[in-house]
Copies of this chain bind each other. A is one copy, B any other.
């Protein structure tokens, strides 16, 4: 009588339910009690594994960071050897993630809902940022600018596009269809126009 796929322990089931829920209903729907309800347990049960609401939300968000890091890694690996193409792929996968998993993306950067505010930034974002710095350094070796600075600015640009596009603040600038021109503009700006 396996109603749910498998009882892999309540801890991970709560996180699973949270991931489902945030996709369906957004970050605002992630109440402790609603998650417990959907997991089929009482409202006090999560407390055994997650001492506070924030810790549960943080565990859910960590799934998002892992997923994003995985996608970005694949995108980079698929363009092996061409740093510029790798950067483009990284940017595209980031933006794609933000627009596809809106609820999760919202949660991941709602620092008031996450604890210690460096659960994913220090663990998954930091190596990702390091590879970004490397790619920037090799993609434009001639430039005198520090790769760390360029990478940081590009990172922020990417994030800003994802965020603003996600809630419709940039559509009036570009037209409603496609954020791709913005993405290309950002890459060209920070990396120099594409060599062809």
Contact = CB atoms under 8 A, between A and B. Distances in A.
A112 interface: yes
Interface stretch (A3-11, A15-23, A71-79, A159-167): A159-167
A190 B156 CA distance: 13
A131 interface: no
A160 B185 CA distance: 15
Interface stretch (A37-45, A56-64, A81-89, A170-178): A170-178
A97 interface: no
A174 B159 contact: no
Nearest to A169: B121
Contacts of A55: none
B28 A112 contact: yes
Copy total for this chain: 2
Contacts of A106: 112
A112 B26 CA distance: 10
B170 A182 contact: no
B27 A156 contact: no
Nearest to A157: B157
A153 interface: yes
Contact of A153 (B112, B148, B152, B161): B161
A186 to B, nearest CB: 5
A31 interface: no
Given A117-B168, A167-B111, A168-B117, A156 B161 contact: yes
A173 B186 contact: no
8 contacts: A28-B112, A111-B167, A118-B168, A146-B181, A152-B182, A155-B170, A156-B160, A156-B170
Given A117-B168, A148-B173, A149-B185, 4 more contacts: A126-B172, A145-B188, A155-B170, A163-B163
